[in-house]
Amino acid sequence: MKILVTGSKGQLGRCIQDVAKGYPEWQFVFTDYKELDITDSRAIENCFKEYKFDYCINCAAYTAVDLAESQVDKAYLINAEAVKTLAEACSANNSKLIHISTDFVFDGKKTMPYTEEDKPRPLGVYGASKLLGESYVQDILEEYFIVRTSWVYSEYGRNFMKTMLKLGNENKEISVVNDQVGSPTYAGDLATFILFLITNKREEYGLYHYSNEGTISWYDFAVQIFKQFGMKVNVNPIPSKDYLTPAKRPDRSDLNTLKVKKSFEFQIYKWEDSLKKCSINFKSTLNGHRENQ
Ligand SMILES: NC(=O)c1ccc[n+]([C@@H]2O[C@H](COP(=O)([O-])OP(=O)(O)OC[C@H]3O[C@@H](n4cnc5c(N)ncnc54)[C@H](OP(=O)(O)O)[C@@H]3O)[C@@H](O)[C@H]2O)c1
């Protein structure tokens, strides 16, 4: 089994590198921007020709949601056009593609968690560029998994948990929005699910929603992060109108994960349990037991 992982220095890519240690019989080729720029179609073509991958896991993405509003071309180039190139390379080389997408394809107007059947309507450039990437994959390939996920955090890279820890170390009191709700996803759990998609023999290709269990606000998440890390920080709930950002975010973007549970009989953990797991991994990273970034 030969598996290409793009964007492998991002938070999901790093977690896949950790989980991949449990599959020593597989040959992983981990690449990031420097080794394989997914916008370079010639490099993609050569890489696929050289290795003849069974799977490509695309973790590379333009994830700067606010910056995307002013860097529109760059967001579309990485999140859509490069995904088209990857899908074409998979098609030409009989490789299966596992592509990661986002809850931000939705407008947040629904009153229940979003299913795979719900009609996307992105509010910003990031979500729109990711949605176009999804449609390229669906048009070009039959053997693909698109995994939409939400509110991703981990011990690696930049994310909400690490931002809260930094703010909490610098301030006794912070304000966090309480009128946007969603489901946090520990990238370590998502990485486990992605490699499970390869090990399980059910070739039920298509679009899936994966997040940890439970719907909370950013405020709830911040409170629990400080509790988990034993930090005394006063968190004030504020409405999003008091925290304006260049990109509009959905009020509600939690994902219904029933299709994953039914199709694969895969256990999805509650967000509180996964936050605990991540905090343990983060602390061991800080203590030097794991490689840090
Ligand atoms: N983070 C979230 O909250 C969230 C929520 C929903 C869905 N997702 C999706 O989940 C996936 C993984 O996200 P993540 O949080 O792991 O993102 P991340 O930490 O930003 O990682 C993305 C990686 O892709 C790399 N990259 C960017 N442009 C590239 C290019 N042209 N060629 C090769 N590599 C490139 C980045 O390198 P540089 O850092 O050097 O640019 C980075 O290492 C993405 O598809 C994202 O859209 C994320």
Give 78-100 pLDDT, tens digit per residue: 999 999 999 999 999 999 999 99
Percentage of the chain surpassing pLDDT 70? 98
Q: What is the pLDDT of residue 287?
A: 75
Tokens representing 137 are 């994959």
State the distance from the centre of ligand 1 to the C-alpha of 178, rounded, in angstroms. 26
Is residue 10 helix, strand or coil?
coil
Number of C-beta neighbours around residue 86 at 10 A: 27
256 and 114 Cβ atoms separated by less than 8 Å: yes
Given a cut of 70, whether residue 292 has pLDDT beyond it is no
Tokens representing 118 are 């719900």
60: Cβ–Cβ under 8 A, 6 or more apart, which residues? Answer: 6, 7, 10, 13, 32, 33, 38, 78, 82
Q: What is the pLDDT of residue 180?
A: 96
Closest ligand 1 atom to 13 CA: 16
Tokens representing 150 are 């939400």
Question: What CATH code is assigned to 2-158+183-214+252-271?
Answer: 3.40.50.720
Q: Tell whether ligand 1 has an atom less than 6 A from the beta carbon of residue 157.
A: yes
| Separation between Cα atoms, residue 174 and residue 162, nearest integer Å | 14
State the distance from the centre of ligand 1 to the C-alpha of 19, rounded, in angstroms. 18
Q: Whose CA is nearest to atom 26 of ligand 1?
A: 60
Q: Active-site residue numbers?
A: 126
Is residue 238 helix, strand or coil?
strand
State the distance from the centre of ligand 1 to the C-alpha of 234, rounded, in angstroms. 31
Q: Over the chain, what is the mean pLDDT?
A: 96
Given a cut of 90, whether residue 229 has pLDDT beyond it is yes
Given a cut of 70, whether residue 289 has pLDDT beyond it is no
Residue 88, classified by CB atoms within 10 Å of its CB into exposed (0-12), middle (13-18) or buried (19+), is middle
| Separation between Cα atoms, residue 287 and residue 282, nearest integer Å | 9
63 and 10 Cβ atoms separated by less than 8 Å: yes
Q: Whose CA is nearest to atom 21 of ligand 1?
A: 10
The pLDDT-based confidence of 291 (bands split at 50, 70, 90) is low
Please choose from 4, 12, 163 the residue to mutate so as to test ligand 1's pocket, defined by most ligand atoms within 8 A of CB: 12
Domain boundaries, the chain: 2-158+183-214+252-271
